[in-house]
Structure 1
Amino acid sequence: MIARYTLPEMGKIWDEQNKLRNWLKVEVAAAESWAELGKIPKEAVEKIKEKVKPYLEGEKEFDTKRIAEIEEVTNHDVIAFLTYIKEIVGDEAKYLHFGMTSSDMLDTAFALQIKQAGELLLKDIERVMEAIKKRAFEHKNTVMIGRTHGIHAEPITFGLKLAIWYDEMRRNYERLKAAVKRAAVGKISGAVGTFANIDPRVEEMTCKKLGIDYAKASNQVVQRDRHAEFLNALALTASSIEKFATEIRHLQRTEVREVEEPFRKGQKGSSAMPHKRNPILSERLCGLARVVRSASIVGMENVPLWHERDISHSSTERTVFPDACIALDYMLQKFANLMENLIVYPENMLKNLNLLKGLIFSQRVLLTLIEKGGLTREEAYAIVQENAMRVWNEGVEFKELLKKDERVRKVLTEEEIEEIFDLSYHTKNVDYIFKRVFGEA
C-alpha cells in the first residue's frame, strides 16, 4: 500500500522487519520445543536465543540488503533468510528449521501477522462503534425523513439511522473476531502434513509459545479457506463503511444538506471554484472499499490449491493482505474521526421533512380509514392515492385536501385528521429500539 493511506501502527505490522521478526520467532520457538523434547541440545538453543535476542526485541534490524544478495543466488527467500541467520548465529544454526519445510515457518509466521493486524482492526472497529453510539444518543430524537428508493417515505430520527450503523458494525466486529481466530493458526507438520520428520508435539508446543492455535490437519500449508474468510470479513467491514460514507455523501448534497463533513480552516474544496465544500473523505472511503473488496476475490481464488500445495497463492498474499489490512485500518480510523466531528443540521432535516406537504403521513391515513371507516384496503388506498397525486401535481397541502374530501370526512373529524399528522406517532418506539440495540435508552 502507498504511504498516503498507510498509518504507522498497521504499516509496521506489514513491514519487512516485522515479517522477518515473526519468521525468527517461529524458528526459535520450534527449536525450543525440540530442546524440551530432548531432540536437540538446550545449550545450543540458549546460544541461538542470546545471539538473536536483539533482532527479536527490535533493538537491531535485519540486513534486508544482505538477505536480498543471498536470495539472488538461492532464488528462495526462506533459504536466504536462514543462511543470513546462520551468519549471525554460527554453527548452532543447524538446529533451526529442524524437520521443517518452508511453509511450516511461513504460514505460522503469517498467522502471527494476521493476529497482530486483526487485533488492531478490532480496536479500530471498537472506536468506530463508540463514535457512532455517541452521535446516536446525541440525535436520538432528531427527526428526519426516511427515504426509500431515494424518495421521501416516513419520518425516522437520525439517531435511529445511526443505531442501525452501530448494530451493523457490531456484526462486523463479531465476524472479524471469529475470522481472526480461524485464520491465525500455525502448522509445523512437514512437507505434506504427515509429521514424518517432526514430532507432532513440536507443532503444538511451538504454537502455544507463540500464542496461536494450530491447524488440526494440514498438508504443506494451512488451508486457504481460513484466509479467505478473514479477507471476506475485511471486505464486509469495508462495505459497511462505504455504505455509511455513501449516506453522508447523499445527505451532504447542496439541496439536502442534512449533514456535512467538517471543513477546517485553510482547506480548499476545488482548484477552480472557491465556494466548494465537498465530501472528499467519504468519497475516498468509498474508493478504498473497492480495494479491500477486491482482496476477498483473490482470497477465494487461493482456496483451490493443487494437491498438497502449489505456490500460486504466495505472490497474491504478499500484496493483498498488507493492502487490505492497511486500507481498512485507514478507513476505520478516518471514519471514526469523521463521525466524531460530523456536522448535523437538524433544522434542514425538519425543513426537508415538510417538502412533500404532509404526504409522508399517507400510510397512517390509509390505516385509519380502514380501522375507523370499515373501508376495504383497496377503497381506502384509492382515496388516499387520489389526494396524494394532487399534492404531487399541484403542490397543495395533503392535510387540507383530506379535510375537503367528503369520503374522508364521513369517517374522520377535523381533529382526527390533525392527529394523524403528529410526528411523535412515528418516533414513539425510539427508546424501545435503542434498548434493543444498545441495552439502554
Structure 2
Amino acid sequence: MSEYYENPLITRYASRQMAALWGAQKKFSTWRRLWVALAEAEAELGLPISEAQLNELRENVDKIDFDNAAAYEKKLRHDVMAHVHAYGDQCPGAKAIIHLGATSNFVVDNTDLILLRESLELVRDRIVAVIQALDNFAREHRALPTLGFTHMQPAQPTTVGKRATLWCYDLVLDLQEVEHRIAVLCARSTKGTTGTQASFLELFDGDHTKVRELETLVAQKMGFQRTYAVTGQTYPRGVDTHVLSTLGGVAASCHKAATDIRLLANRKELEEPFEKNQIGSSAMAYKRNPMRSERICGLARFVMSLTANGADTHATQWMERTLDDSANRRLSLPQALLGVDAVLSIYHNVASGLVVYPKVIERNLAAELPFMATENLLMEAVRAGGDRQDLHEVIRTHSQEAAAVVKQQGGDNDLLDRLRNDPAFAGVDIDAAVDAAGLVGRAPEQVDEFLNEVVEPILVRLGEQSAGGDELRV
C-alpha cells in the first residue's frame, strides 16, 4: 500500500491490457522504435548511417534504463532529450545519429497516434464483446412481454429482448464511430519543427523528393499508410477532439443501459449478477444493490466530462503550437481510454449475467395492462358496431374512475371489470383483447431482424472477442 495517491483507473477499474498500453515501457519503447524507423529510412535514402549502428539501436529498443533517463531529465528538464541521451549511453556507436533531423514531437506525437490506434482497437473489441452478450440476452427474451415506459411513465408494452436491442444498437452505432476513428488515423511522421520539414530538407541537400519519401517510409514502418497532409509542430489537435468525443459517446451509451438496469432492479424485474458472498450493504444485510451498473455510470460520467478537454486544447493551440496541450493530454487521452475500457469490461460482466424475473414482470405489467389495452378494446368495440367517439368517452370515464381507486384508495385496477359491466362493450372479448403477447406489436420480430441483419454480420466480421481477461477487482 503506497502512502501516495494512486489512480483508481489503474488500481481498481481498467484492464491490464489498457493500462500496459499507456505505461512507461510501452511509451518509451515506442519512442525508440520511431528512432530506429527514422534511422533506417534515412539510411535507405542515402544518409551515412551504418547497419552496425542500426543493429545497435534495434538491440536496445526495450532495454530502457529508466533511472538513467530520470537522472538526465532532472538535469536537462527535457523528457525527450533525456531519453535521447539514455538511449545513446546504451548505443555509443549510434549515439550521433539518434533523433537526426527530428523535433521532440516526432516521437511524442507519433507515439500518441500509435497508442491511440492500439487503444481504439482494444475498445472496438470490448464493444463487440458486449454486443455479443446483449445478442445472447435479447435472443433468449425476444418475446417476453414487459411494460414499456415513455417519460418514465407506463406505456405500450414491449419485450425484454426488444429493450435489450436498444442498448445493443447504441453500441453498434458507437462501433461504427470507433472503427471510423481507427480508419482515419494517420501518422505525423517527419514533419519537422514547425511542420515545414526544413531540417530534413537540409539533411538531404535540398532534395524535396527524398524528404517526401522519408515521410512515407517512416510512416509505413510504424504501420500507417497515410500521413496528415500538413501540420504545425504537432498533429492536428482536432484529432484528439474527435477521439474524445467518440469515447464520450461510448460512455453515454453504457451509462444509458446501466441506468435502465438500475431502474429495472428497483422494480425487481431485472438484476445484475450477484456473487454468493457479495455484500450489498454494510448496514442492510438484505440488500442487493446494482453496484456494477452504478460503477458503470460513475466511470462513464467521468469519461464524458473529458470530451471538453479535446475541444479546449484544440482551440487554444496558437499558430504552429503551444505547450499547454502537453499536461492536459497526458491526463485526458489515457484516462478517457482507461475509463471506457473499464466501463465496457464491467458492462460485459453485467450483460453476460443479467437475471430476469418473469413473474415480477408479469405482475407489474398486469397492474397497468387494463390501461395499455384500451386502444385494442376501442377497436374491437367499433368492429362490434359501436361508435368510436362514444366508446372513447366511455373508456375515458371508466379509466379515470379506475385510476382514482388505485391512486386515492390504494386498490387494484378494476378498469376491465368496469368495461365488462358496461353494455357498450357487451360484444367484446375483453380477455382476448388484453393478452399481453398481442400487445407488443412486432417486438419479437424486430429482435430477430435486428440481430440477424445488423448484429450477426458484425460478429461474423470481427469474430469472438473477450471482455478483457481480468476478473473484476471490486
Per the normalisation by structure 1, the TM-score is 0.91
User: CA offsets per residue over residues 310-361 of structure 1, 9 Å max, x none?
Assistant: 1111111101112111121111111111111111111111111011251111
CA distance in 2, matches of 1:369, 1:73: 89
d(CA) in 2 for partners of 1:423 and 1:273? Answer: 36
Pairwise CA RMSD of aligned residues? 2.1
Cα distance in 2 for residues equivalent to 1:289 and 1:367: 45
| Partner of residue 251, structure 2 | 238
Q: Does 1:389 align with 2:409?
A: no
Q: Is the 8 A contact 2:145 2:160 kept in 1?
A: yes
Task: Tell me, yes or no, if the aligned pair for 2:53 and 2:93 is still in contact at 8 Å.
Answer: no
What is the Cα deviation at residue 292 of structure 1?
Answer: 0.7
Pair 22,367 (structure 1): closer, same or farther in 2 beyond 3 Å: farther
Match in the other structure for 1:32: 40
Q: 1:249 pairs with 257, 262, 275, which one? A: 262
Unaligned runs of 5+ in 2: 1-6, 201-210, 406-411, 457-474
- For 1:307 and 1:362, the matched residues in 2 are separated by 65
Match of 2:302 in 1: 291
Equivalent pairs, count? 428
Q: CA deviation at 1:211?
A: 0.8
Contact 2:384–2:427 under 8 Å retained in 1: no
Residue in 2 aligned with 1:427?
Answer: 440
Q: Is residue 188–residue 227 contact of structure 2 (8 Å, CA) maintained in 1? A: yes
Conserved 8 A contact 2:171-2:253: yes
Q: Which runs of 5+ in 1 are unaligned?
A: none
Supply the distance in 2 between the matched residues of 1:277 and 1:185 (Cα, whole angstroms).
Answer: 49
Q: State how far apart, in whole Å, the 1-side matches of 2:116 and 2:125 are.
A: 14
Q: Partner residue of 2:142?
A: 140
Q: Which stretch shifts more, 184-193 or 242-251?
A: 184-193
> Alpha carbons of 1:40 and 1:293: their partners in 2 closer, same or farther (altered >3 Å)?
farther
Point out the more displaced range, 332-341 or 353-362.
353-362
For 2:428, the equivalent position in structure 1 comes to 414
User: Cα distance 1:71–1:391, how it changes in 2: closer, same or farther (>3 A)?
Assistant: same
**Cα distance in 2 for residues equivalent to 1:125 and 1:396:** 43
Is the 2:272–2:350 Cα contact (8 Å) retained in structure 1?
yes
On the 8 A contact 2:36/2:54 being kept in 1, the answer is no
Higher relative contact order (CA 8 A, sep 6+): 2
Q: CA separation in 1, counterparts of 2:213 and 2:187? A: 15
Conserved 8 A contact 1:268-1:274:
yes
Paired residue type of 1:169: L
- String of CA shifts for 1:93-140, please: whole Å, max 9, x gaps: 222222211112211111111111111111111110000000110111
Q: After superposition, what is the alpha-carbon deviation per residue over 1:169-198, rounded to whole angstroms, capped at 9, x for unaligned?
A: 111111111123334533321012122222
Structure 2 residue matching 1:306: 3-state secondary structure: coil
For residues 378-434 of structure 1, the C-alpha deviation after alignment (integer angstroms, 9 at most, x for no partner) is x6544332221112112442222223334x43xx7132x443212232335234312
State the SS of the aligned residue for 2:359: helix
Q: Structure 2 counterpart of 1:31, which letter?
A: A
- Identical positions, percent: 27
Q: 1:64 to 1:382 in 2, by over 3 A?
A: farther
Q: Deviations over 1:257-314 (max 9, x none)?
A: 0011222122111222211211111111110011111211111111121101111111
User: Residue 370 of structure 2 contacts residue 413 of structure 2 at CA under 8 Å; is this kept in 1?
Assistant: no
Indicate conservation of the 8 Å contact 2:369/2:434, yes or no.
Answer: no
Match of 2:155, SS?
strand
Residue in structure 2 matched with residue 360 of structure 1 by the alignment: 372
Q: CA offsets, 1:157-180, max 9 Å, x none? A: 100011111111111111111123
The SS at the match of 2:193 is coil
1:18 to 9, 14, 26: 26
How do residues 87-236 of structure 1 correspond to structure 2 at under 5 angstroms? 87-183=89-185, 185-198=187-200, 199-212=211-224, 213-236=226-249
Q: Distance in 2 between matches of 1:155 and 1:371?
A: 23
Change (3 A) 1:179 1:371: farther
Partner-residue secondary structure (3-state), 1:145? strand
Counterpart amino acid of residue 121 in structure 1: V
2:359 aligned with 1:347: yes
Q: Does the C-alpha gap of structure 1 residues 375 and 300 become closer, same or farther in structure 2, counting only changes over 3 Å?
A: farther
SS of corresponding position for 1:354: helix
Q: Deviations over 1:48-79 (max 9, x none)?
A: 334324x1xxxx3x222221211112111111
Aligned to 2:77: 75
Q: CA deviation at 1:6?
A: 2.9
Shift of 1:375: 5.0
Superposition TM-score, scaled by structure 2 size: 0.85
SS of 1:153's equivalent in the other structure is: strand
- The letter of the residue matching 1:438 is L
Residues 1:51 and 1:439: Cα distance change in structure 2 (over 3 Å) = closer
Partner of 1:47: 55
Q: Does 1:332 align with 2:334?
A: no
Following the alignment from structure 1 to structure 2, what is the Cα–Cα distance between the partners of residues 170 and 4?
27
Mapped partners of 2:327, 2:160: distance in 1: 45
C-alpha contact (below 8 Å) 1:32/1:42 kept by paired residues = no
1:6 correspondence with 2:14: yes
CA contact (8 A) 2:194 2:233 kept: yes
Q: Could you tell me how far apart the structure 1 residues matched to 2:135 and 2:303 are?
A: 25
In structure 2, what is the equivalent of residue 401 of structure 1?
A: 418
Q: Aligned partner of 1:272: which letter?
A: A
Q: Which amino acid counterpart does residue 224 of structure 1 have in structure 2? A: R
AA at the equivalent of 1:247: D
